[in-house]
Structure 1
Amino acid sequence: MASQECLNFFKGYATLSLLPAKEIIEATTELLSPESRDYDQDRDNRHPLIYGSDEGSRWVRQSICDLTNDAFQLKECVKSKPDYINLTSGASYGILNLLAQTTLPHTGYTRQAFIISPTYFLINEAFVDAGFGDKITAIKELEDSIDLEALKERLEYFDSIHDKEDHSKDHKIINAPGAEKLKKIYKYVLYMVPTFSNPGGRTYSLESRKQVIEIARKHDMLIISDDVYDLLNYEQSLDSLPHPMPRLTFLDRESYAGGDEGFGNTISNATFSKVVAPGLRFGYQESVNKNLVSQLSRGGANASGGTPSQLNSMVVGTMLKNGECTRILQHSRAVYKERCQILYDCIKKCLPSQTEYTLQTGGYFSWVTLPDGYNCREICAILMEKHNVIIPDGSWFEVVGDPKGWDTRSCRLSISFLSADQIERGIKIWGDECKEYALSHNLKF
């Protein structure tokens, strides 16, 4: 196997040739070449090479707002504003800070975490690190929604067994002595990837988004929305920015009635890892108003070192202002769209006739389900051992402690890393192994 080409459908980052090294060099040069910039002494921005403000550079936050307001075509009352945004070192670390700042499972104040299943496989560890190891419930993903009835039933159950508990002193654990404003801590937290989900590749309908927000408001639940793929839309015109489904935070803001002191029930956790490059480690979070993101920016780590990606945030900000981000996004979408079509055509041609699969229309990932009788876990193991073809079976995408049996027939495929030719070769090998499996197990192919 060592001499065989590795065809890795697991990797969730861009083909190395797609990474915009030249554009990043040019943006960095543009940013750092001047002896000084007009914002170097501005407390809201600061010099690119010193500690940044806690919230992150204001001009970068404004550049992000310009992008999102344009892409999502937001009404005036819903538009993103710099004060509603907190800069992070990417979506993964953003989640860790978010859970540390807004939940308290250790005392039982935060009663339960809900994670959509199948899920992004590495998110489990973030919740375990935050103290949710024995407090995680899986909620199944449906065709264009999640199982809202199951979510409501479980919330009502946990309300019934916890409502009489006294947590009046719990805030002392998570607030510094003498704090002027107490942190907002939620009783529940829900994690989802609502647009081009990882791993399912699904997008939740507008109505389901509104419904889950209403549920969250009723039960004091924070919805963490990983909005990392929504600009990677392959259905819409490649000649302009895509216009994705509204993020949950935009919908929460549109109908928000919590006043100046409220925090809302959603946080958009976004990153430039998929749009530009993951090595930059730069992202942002957005909430309905300034209160929740201000809380996130005042955590101990930010107070000590300022925004965690001061230089890289300004490199990306420069690329937003000079238009490179849009051009990179446009090129990536064209490449990925072609790969999606190749993947779909190959699956229809090479895999068993009753395989469940739909054309991927955005993001990095799609979900395949083989017919009854085929054991995806066994076949994927054969592919790796005999052919150096790596396809992760569904067991990777279970919610920790609450498995749903995804390993039996399903697996996830990535179009971000392999070329179109490699995708075609890998799926053909997979199909050949499925044929052999069908013969040896007396199955229809």
Structure 2
Amino acid sequence: MTMINFLKGHPTRTIIPVKEIANAYSKVLLDSDYLSYDSDPNNQHPLAYGTDPGNLDVRTTISNWVNDKYQIQSTSADLINLTAGASYGVANILASTTTPQLTKKAFVVTPTYFLINSVFVDAGLGDDLIAINETSSSEYDIDLEKLESELQKFGKTGVDTILKDPRGERKIYQFVMYLVPTFSNPGGMTYSLKTREKLLQLARKYDMLLISDDVYEFLNYASTTTIPPPISKINQIDQKTVSNKYGNSISNATFSKIIAPGLRVGWQESATPALVHQLSVTGANKSGGTPSQLSTLVVANLIESGKLDTIILNFKSVYAERAQVLKKSIKKYLPANTQVDGGDGGYFLWIKLPKEIDNHAVIEQLAQKGVVIPSGEGFEVLGSNNKQRWGDHCVRLSISYLTTEEIEQGVKIWGETIVELGNK
């Protein structure tokens, strides 16, 4: 039985740019001896331990590329540190900027990325999570009224906690918040500029660090969708939104979604160099240097050669077609009042089924037929007070992994199963 798996959030192997990656590795390893790096404290050989924030040349290449993408010249190399991808990035941020004793609460947008809860548990914040709902029916794209109420309840204004250790100052935030503001995972939403600016106002007032998983920004495949700048760029541009020398936002980005996850390369943009330095001297990072040193130079080569932009265009073309097929299939095979969010960019669509359908029974029956559809209950924020019962009627569907034929076939089986179980 062939498995049709709507859970997997990574590219189909056939569209991964294998030759381009192989050529870039060859160029980095064989076409230059990097003699100039031998006495350069800011750059290290591809096969050596990297510098703490990452090679300066690589960070410069990435910052120029990001500025060109947004047509906003706010990012520079000293506002970037390199990571081993977005998951590592969040863990490193929490290790650096929070402590269970001093950080009051961690806010997580719901529905949320299903693996993020464990990162907060590892940081000692598992009992301090508060869910903040996405919403498409109010002034803002998330429930900022509840967020502000919780900030007032648990925090104070005018807080700026600085610890000292042998590595220097360490900024500890009173609150942190995790969100995916562009083509959100799993909700498929893109937050407005108004929402992003209001979040920064609250973050500045209540000493909160906004951790934005900006991993789908460049996978915009609907020409009608305008992407506001990342919160970190707003923070960089408008220095009134910088409450102290560390700022209140980090754009946690990755090349996993736009090249290949196996490279394990990401980057973070902060509002100030002070936060970049703090993130680059965590224990593991200080010991081993920037993660994935070789792969960071491979990524820089793909950017400089123009190959990365071509790779992204191909991904966008493939995903646009798959998203269209998915939406048409849902309209064709599922109940008429099924609600679809997303499908203009990124990987995921969030589907809300009519209340009369027994979502759990349908999903269980589909699994026996070889169709994997992840229930919404897997996208809850940890904690009994945070449950929204997403699993009763919602599912998340990925378009990154399946072909158009598999997508339509899977939705067709889904619709037939709903009818079989008497849920019309």
TM-score by length of 1: 0.90
Look up the SS of the partner of 2:391 in the other structure: coil
In the alignment, which of 68, 71, 91 is matched to residue 70 of structure 1?
A: 68
The aligned residue for residue 26 of structure 1 is: 23
CA–CA distance in structure 2, aligned partners of residues 376 and 300 of structure 1: 45
Look up the SS of the partner of 1:62 in the other structure: helix
The aligned residue for residue 410 of structure 1 is: 394
Look up the SS of the partner of 2:240 in the other structure: coil
The aligned residue for residue 52 of structure 2 is: 54
Flag the structure with higher strand content: 2
Within-5 A mapping of 1:262-411: 262-358=245-341, 360-385=343-368, 387-401=369-383, 402-411=386-395
Contact map agreement 2:81 2:268 (CA 8 A) in 1: yes
Deviates more, 1:401-410 or 1:33-42: 33-42
Look up the SS of the partner of 1:423 in the other structure: helix
Within-5 A mapping of 1:209-228: 209-228=196-215
Task: Measure how far apart 1:159 and its partner are.
Answer: 2.2
Task: Measure how far apart 1:182 and its partner are.
Answer: 1.7
CA–CA distance in structure 2, aligned partners of residues 307 and 252 of structure 1: 25
CA–CA distance in structure 2, aligned partners of residues 81 and 243 of structure 1: 24
The aligned residue for residue 233 of structure 1 is: 220
Contact map agreement 1:28 1:315 (CA 8 A) in 2: yes
Task: Measure how far apart 1:254 and its partner are.
Answer: 2.0
CA–CA distance in structure 2, aligned partners of residues 347 and 304 of structure 1: 50
Work out whether 1:127 is the aligned partner of 2:127: no
- Relative distance call for 1:358 and 1:259 in structure 2 (3 A) is closer
Work out whether 1:83 is the aligned partner of 2:78: yes
In the alignment, which of 143, 151, 155 is matched to residue 151 of structure 2?
A: 155
Contact map agreement 2:160 2:207 (CA 8 A) in 1: no
Contact map agreement 1:72 1:243 (CA 8 A) in 2: no
Work out whether 1:110 is the aligned partner of 2:93: no
Q: Which amino acid aligns with 1:94?
A: G
Contact map agreement 1:85 1:284 (CA 8 A) in 2: yes
Within-5 A mapping of 1:238-277: 244-257=227-240, 262-277=245-260
- Equivalent pairs, count: 418
Q: Which amino acid aligns with 1:430?
A: W
Look up the SS of the partner of 1:368 in the other structure: strand
CA–CA distance in structure 2, aligned partners of residues 51 and 346 of structure 1: 50
* Runs of 5+ consecutive residues of structure 2 not aligned to the other structure: none
Work out whether 1:199 is the aligned partner of 2:190: no
Task: Show CA shifts across 1:348-407 (max 9, x none).
Answer: 01000111114600000010000111122221111002x110000101100000211100
Look up the SS of the partner of 2:109 in the other structure: strand
Work out whether 1:433 is the aligned partner of 2:417: yes
Task: Measure how far apart 1:218 and its partner are.
Answer: 0.7
- Relative distance call for 1:191 and 1:35 in structure 2 (3 A) is closer
Task: Measure how far apart 1:145 and its partner are.
Answer: 1.1
CA–CA distance in structure 2, aligned partners of residues 204 and 244 of structure 1: 9
Task: Measure how far apart 1:37 and its partner are.
Answer: 2.1
Contact map agreement 2:242 2:248 (CA 8 A) in 1: no
CA–CA distance in structure 2, aligned partners of residues 408 and 243 of structure 1: 32
Work out whether 1:182 is the aligned partner of 2:193: no
Look up the SS of the partner of 1:184 in the other structure: strand
In the alignment, which of 86, 90, 96 is matched to residue 95 of structure 1?
A: 90
Look up the SS of the partner of 1:361 in the other structure: coil
CA–CA distance in structure 1, aligned partners of residues 376 and 219 of structure 2: 24
Work out whether 1:14 is the aligned partner of 2:7: no
CA–CA distance in structure 2, aligned partners of residues 415 and 25 of structure 1: 26
Q: Which amino acid aligns with 1:156?
A: Q
CA–CA distance in structure 2, aligned partners of residues 192 and 374 of structure 1: 30
What is the percentage of aligned positions where both structures have the same residue? 45
Q: Which amino acid aligns with 1:62?
A: T
Contact map agreement 1:188 1:222 (CA 8 A) in 2: yes
TM-score by length of 2: 0.95
- Relative distance call for 1:159 and 1:70 in structure 2 (3 A) is same
Task: Measure how far apart 1:40 and its partner are.
Answer: 2.5
Task: Show CA shifts across 1:218-275 (max 9, x none).
Answer: 10000000000010001139xxxx9732000011122223779611110000000000
Contact map agreement 2:187 2:342 (CA 8 A) in 1: no
- Relative distance call for 1:199 and 1:261 in structure 2 (3 A) is closer
Task: Show CA shifts across 1:268-308 (max 9, x none).
Answer: 00000000000000001110121101110011212211111
The aligned residue for residue 195 of structure 2 is: 208
Task: Measure how far apart 1:415 and its partner are.
Answer: 0.1
Work out whether 1:142 is the aligned partner of 2:124: no
Q: Which amino acid aligns with 1:355?
A: T
